[in-house]
Amino acid sequence: MNAHTTDAMPSDESGPHDMSTGRRIALVVLLIVVALSVSLGAYAMFGPNPRVPEGVLTATADEDGDGYRQEGDISDDPSLVATATKLESNIRTNSSSSTASSSGDRLFDRTLAIYNLGDDLLMKRVGLAVFEQLRDEGRFDQIRYLPAGEHLPWGERLPDFFVTLDNTSWEEGGLPGSKTFEGEFVVTACDRFRRSSHGYHTSTSPPQLQLRFKAEIDYTAKQTGVETSGARYQAVSRDVAKEVVKQLTAVLDKQKEKIGSVGDLPDVLYPEYVAPPEFDVVEELDAEKLIDGPAFMRHCLAMWEVPAKRPANEVVEIVREALANDEWKVPEGGPDDEYLRATKDSKVLVVFRQDDGRFVAGEDADTPKPMFIAYVHAMSHDDLQGALEQLFDEGVDESVLVMFQNAWHLNRDQIVKYFEEHPPTHPDAWLQLAYFYKRDDPEAARDALLRANALQRVLHQENASSRMKSLAEDLGMEELPQRLSHEMIQTLGFEDLSEPGEVEVLVRAGELKAIWLGDHDDEQRWMLLTPVHKKGEGHTRSLRAQMITLRNGGWSRSDGTSGDLTNSEFPVHQRRVEGKDSVKVFSEPQEDGRTYLLRIERTAPEEKEAPGEPEEPETQGETVI
């Protein structure tokens, strides 16, 4: 009997249909890593929130100007922000501005508040970018950023300048990796949040430039590449902010060059805060308070916005009737009035329409638009006189005194005595003295007028004003000279570097010193030096050097800012004069950190110029008139 046996084959765990424990673990780990990578990638792309302000931000320059102390919270997770994009944009900006000023007025631009009127992610990103870029410009003592719906504390001193940001339209298109953007942004800037085109000036009005500015930015862009959710709108917001800052800087620089900016002011010119009255009409019109606080020469400056529910003339009539019943002086008006100015003692209340004075094609005049109510409680005449008396007693600086030149006739004896002890350095001061002397001492008036004209030509490169020409005619002077005589140069105390030699001048930050470099044919040449302090991170202490050539009928100017005023070893500035002589400026910082002893050397060339002699630096710009 045959028996068939089958040997059982032992199981082989390494066979093709099975897997070792180690390989299974490796696969599980791989799957986990892939899942985590996908999850983290998805979270990075769609999870993190972009960097935006979480409330009011404040950046205040340190006293020594070496940096900004920043307060306020910003949502920030830089580890999850990444972008690999390319942005191509087209920006068209339509801007307009209007100003009102009188003799002595200055641009107030030390402190700034940015009001963001938009509350979406795009505007939050734009607002933060504007705040940081303006901070990094280093020109302001303090910058405050207020998100939509926020306001400065009532009763707190107001900033010098107000900026608003808004987005009136925005569209996005395209696909991931290739996006398109199109929209319009509106930027306003003003010395008091909003201002009417109807200006007014009283004997107690602050010597402050009245400025209103508006820029409409049409923005289109195409963005290619990938950005995480934490980087959303990063490139666009910075691009828009760059244009905003460019526009604001341009309008401020223009006015600063034209009339000058204010320096340090005594506290006596900042009166105690007095809250505004409880106007019933504000509640009736459902108006929202925007600002409320003291300011330069004002106990209170408050403003409300009336929503666009009624035509402008209806709002004006409601306010007119309410004020008349409260013993305000209200002018008679017509049924179509869109502007109202009422007074009560040293208080003024103004009602005006948004963008009044600006024509918009196709706009219906009867369409309701936002209205504004502005309340100003200024210093009284007696308060101002008391403040000026205190300034004389404590020793006022000429730069502050010149701002109040329109009121000098009230303190004539004190003004004359002051300038007998402190000879004027400003053309406006000499011009006002010329008017003082006109009747009693014509010869002294003529001398003062010649000095005013000379200072204006050198320091501001301006011809005689209409006031100067009129006064010259009254004093029997044929024509005011366009070039300074050597006698006038010595009389005004200008340093003389018309020949090789060396002079020293002590100059403060922001102050201008003029050096006479001599006459050549029918031209007169000057060097104007001004220390420039830039605040904040990366602060600089540089020197602005202007080379001025005066000639009959015009002038030319080259202008550049460079060097390091804190370095005493090397020249802070150097250049050629008349193509041969070399002028070098050396700086020695003083203990106060704001004053410099400048040593200016003029040397004639040797027979053979030494190798490696530095060439004249390029200037940043040249103007010829």
Joined together, the tokens standing for residue 469 give 């020409």
- Separation CA 305–CA 587 (nearest Å): 52
**Mean of the pLDDT values across residues 447-464?**
94
- Provide the percentage of residues in the chain whose pLDDT is more than 70: 86
Task: State pLDDT tens for residues 326-336.
Answer: 899 999 888 88
Hey, what amino acid is at 253?
Answer: D
**Mean of the pLDDT values across residues 534-555?**
83
Q: 621: burial class by Cβ within 10 Å (0-12, 13-18, 19+)?
A: exposed
Task: State pLDDT tens for residues 378-424.
Answer: 999 999 999 999 999 888 999 999 999 988 988 899 999 999 999 99
Q: Right CATH number for 494-624 from 2.60.120, 2.60.40, 2.60.98, 1.10.3470?
A: 2.60.98
pLDDT category at 369 given cuts 50, 70, 90 is confident
Per the DSSP assignment, residues forming a β-bridge with 546 are: 528, 559
**Mean of the pLDDT values across residues 524-536?**
89
Q: How much helix, strand and coil, in percent to the nearest 5, is found in the chain?
A: 30, 35, 40
**Mean of the pLDDT values across residues 455-464?**
92
pLDDT category at 377 given cuts 50, 70, 90 is very high
Rounded to two decimals, the pTM is 0.85
pLDDT category at 43 given cuts 50, 70, 90 is very low
Pairing of strands 573-577, 581-589: antiparallel
Q: Which residue has the higher pLDDT, 267 or 615?
A: 267
What is the DSSP annotation of 201-221? --TT--SB-EEEEEEEEEEEE
pLDDT category at 32 given cuts 50, 70, 90 is low
pLDDT category at 6 given cuts 50, 70, 90 is very low
Residue 254: φ, ψ to 5° = -60, -45
Task: State pLDDT tens for residues 222-231.
Answer: 999 988 878 8
Q: 574: burial class by Cβ within 10 Å (0-12, 13-18, 19+)?
A: buried
Task: State pLDDT tens for residues 299-321.
Answer: 999 999 999 999 999 999 999 99
Which residues, other chains included, contact 138 with Cβ-Cβ below 8 Å and sequence gap of 6+? 61, 534, 535, 536, 538, 539, 540
Total residues found in the chain within this entry: 625
Annotated domain spans of the chain: 57-262, 280-379, 423-488, 494-624
- Does residue 54 contact residue 77 with C-beta atoms inside 8 Å? no
b/e for 357-371, b at 16 or more Cβ within 10 A? eeeeeeeeeeebbbb
- Does residue 516 contact residue 497 with C-beta atoms inside 8 Å? yes
Q: Give residue 152's pLDDT.
A: 97
Residue 409, CA distances (Å) to 147, 203, 433, 440 in order: 46, 12, 10, 15
Please choose, from the candidates 570, 563, 571, the residue with its C-alpha nearest in 3D space to the C-alpha of residue 542.
563
- Provide the percentage of residues in the chain whose pLDDT is more than 90: 66
Task: State pLDDT tens for residues 140-150.
Answer: 999 999 999 99
